[in-house]
Amino acid sequence: MKSTRKASLALVKLCCRALAEKKAGDLRVLDVGEKSTITDFLVIATGTSEPHLRALRIELEKAIDAAHTHLVGIETAGESGWTVVDAFDVMVHLFSEEKRQRFGLEKLWRDAPEVSVDKLLEEPAKKRKPAARSAAPAKRRKAKA
């Protein structure tokens, strides 16, 4: 049974933040919920090297684990340039630049709406306390003409 859209978006946001912190390249999110029976969102990112891809995967695993979210599985082959992290409603694909171009998931899912990563990464506006006013009003200097 699929979870709510709000919970899925919260997981997408968590994944995007973890990947952005580790400098993932060309981070994109596709809403495939209306087109796929296996997941709601695809998160796609590029790593610069095998060690970078490994670091992205590890950071992602830590973030998902800290959120107490169940991972269905992780599929990667050594030096393959492609890792899939399956968190049921969210599937994350980590690619080398070459593999990303070769497999073209964005083209495969071109009919799926894209979710703005910038909006996902925005920090919610914090409520500010009004500035305390001083007891004595500030004196203003008159400009000399």
Structural domain includes residue 135: no
Q: Under a CB-based contact definition with an 8 Å cutoff, are residues 10 and 64 in contact?
A: no
At 48, is the pLDDT very low, low, confident or very high (cuts 50, 70, 90)? very high
Taking the complete model, does pTM exceed 0.75, yes or no? yes
- How far is it, in rounded angstroms, from Cα 33 to Cα 113? 10
Structural domain includes residue 49: yes
Structural domain includes residue 88: no
Q: Under a CB-based contact definition with an 8 Å cutoff, are residues 24 and 44 in contact?
A: no
- How far is it, in rounded angstroms, from Cα 125 to Cα 33? 29
Nearest to 56 by CA among 79, 26, 22: 22
Structural domain includes residue 114: yes
At 1, is the pLDDT very low, low, confident or very high (cuts 50, 70, 90)? very low
Residue 120 identity (one-letter amino acid): L
Domain CATH for 29: 3.30.460.10
Q: Does the pLDDT of residue 128 top 60, yes or no?
A: no
At 70, is the pLDDT very low, low, confident or very high (cuts 50, 70, 90)? confident
